[in-house]
Amino acid sequence: MKLLCKQQTSLLRPHLLALTVIFLLTLMAYWELPQSFFQQDEWHTFGYYNYLLSLGKEEFIANVLRSGLLTHFTPLSLFFKMSLYQFFALNSSLYFVVSIILHIMVSITIYFFILMLVKKRLAATILFYFKKGKKKFFYISLSLILIALLFKETAVTFLIVLFGLILFKEKKGLKKSSVFNLGLVVAFYIFLRFAYLLFKVGGLSTSASQNTEDFGLILGYNIFTIPVKIFTQIFFPNDLLVYITNITSSPFGIYQYFAKGPWVIESGFRYDLLTLSLGLLIIALMWWINQKIKNRQPFYLGLVLILLIVVPFLLLKKYLLYFDSRYLYPATLGLSLIIGATVAYLKIRLQRLVAALMLGIFLIVLVGHLVSLKVLINQQKELGSERDRLLGYIKEQYPNLPQRVIFYTESDSTYSGIPKILPFQSGVGQMLLIWYHPTENFPGDFFQNDFLWDIDSEGYREFSGRGFGYYRDFPALKKAITDYNMSINSVFAFSWNGTSGNLQDITVNVRDKLKSELNM
Q: What is the pLDDT of residues 454-505, one digit of tens each?
A: 888 999 999 999 999 999 999 999 999 999 999 999 999 999 988 888 999 9
**Of 79-93, 98-112, 343-357, 455-469, which range is least confident?**
343-357
CA atoms within 13 A on the CB side of 53: 20
Q: How confident is the model at residue 16 (pLDDT cuts 50, 70, 90)?
A: confident
Provide the residue type at 231 as one letter.
F
Strands 491-497 and 404-411, bridge-based pairing: parallel
Query: Maximum Cα–Cα distance for the chain, whole Å?
Result: 88
Q: Where are the domains of the chain?
A: 1-30, 32-199, 215-349, 384-518
What stretch of H or E contains 178? Answer: helix 172-193
Cα angle value 45/35/413 (rounded, 5°): 75
- pLDDT value, residue 231: 87
How many helices and strands, by DSSP H and E, does the chain display? 19, 7
Phi, then psi, of 492 in degrees rounded to 5: -125, 130
Say how many residues make up the chain: 520
Phi, then psi, of 89 in degrees rounded to 5: 55, -120
DSSP string for residues in 281-347: HHHHHHHHHHHH-S--HHHHHHHHHHHHHHHHHHT-SS---S--GGG-HHHHHHHHHHHHHHHHHHH
- pLDDT value, residue 432: 95
Cα-Cα-Cα-Cα torsion 271, 277, 281, 282, nearest 10 degrees, comes to 30
Q: Under DSSP, is residue 443 helix (H, G, I), strand (E, B) or coil?
A: coil
CA distances from 349 to 282, 297, 367 (A): 21, 17, 25
- pLDDT value, residue 69: 65
Q: What is the pLDDT of residues 396-432, one digit of tens each?
A: 999 999 999 999 999 888 777 777 888 888 889 999 9
- Please compute the mean of the pLDDT values over residues 158-171 and round it to a whole number: 76
Provide the residue type at 190 as one letter.
I
Distance CA 116, CA 114 (A): 5
- Please compute the mean of the pLDDT values over residues 48-74 and round it to a whole number: 84
CA atoms within 13 A on the CB side of 502: 4
Q: Under DSSP, is residue 195 helix (H, G, I), strand (E, B) or coil?
A: helix
449, pLDDT greater than 50: yes
Distance CA 383, CA 121 (A): 48
Please say whether the dihedral angle defined by the alpha carbons of residues 160, 165, 166 and 168, taken in this order, is positive or negative. Answer: positive
Provide the residue type at 93 as one letter.
S
Distance CA 18, CA 16 (A): 6
Q: Select the more confidently predicted residue: 32 or 366.
A: 32
Going through 377-490 in order, the beta strands assigned E by DSSP cover: 404-411, 414-415, 418-419, 459-463, 466-471
- Please compute the mean of the pLDDT values over residues 80-87 and round it to a whole number: 93
List b or e across 23-60, with b for residues whose CB sees 16 or more CB atoms inside 10 angstroms: eeebeebbeebbbbbbeeebbbbbbbbbbbebeeeeee
Cβ neighbour number for residue 259 with a 10 Å cutoff = 12
CA distances from 199 to 59, 109, 204, 462 (A): 8, 39, 14, 28
Cβ neighbour number for residue 332 with a 10 Å cutoff = 18
Cα-Cα-Cα-Cα torsion 184, 190, 195, 196, nearest 10 degrees, comes to 170
Phi, then psi, of 415 in degrees rounded to 5: -135, 130
**Of 19-28, 91-100, 142-151, 340-349, which range is least confident?**
340-349
Nearest Cα to Cα of residue 493 among 391, 421, 408: 408
Please, are residues 390 and 422 in contact by the beta-carbon 8 Å criterion? Answer: yes
Q: What is the pLDDT of residues 254-278, one digit of tens each?
A: 655 555 666 666 777 788 888 888 8
Cβ neighbour number for residue 167 with a 10 Å cutoff = 12
Please, are residues 331 and 234 in contact by the beta-carbon 8 Å criterion? Answer: yes
Nearest Cα to Cα of residue 346 among 338, 354, 357, 355: 355
Please, are residues 66 and 204 in contact by the beta-carbon 8 Å criterion? Answer: yes
Q: How confident is the model at residue 223 (pLDDT cuts 50, 70, 90)?
A: confident
Please, are residues 412 and 499 in contact by the beta-carbon 8 Å criterion? Answer: yes
Does the global pTM surpass 0.85?
no
Cα-Cα-Cα-Cα torsion 260, 266, 271, 274, nearest 10 degrees, comes to 100
CA distances from 295 to 18, 299, 352 (A): 22, 8, 20
DSSP state of 15: G
Q: Under DSSP, is residue 351 helix (H, G, I), strand (E, B) or coil?
A: coil
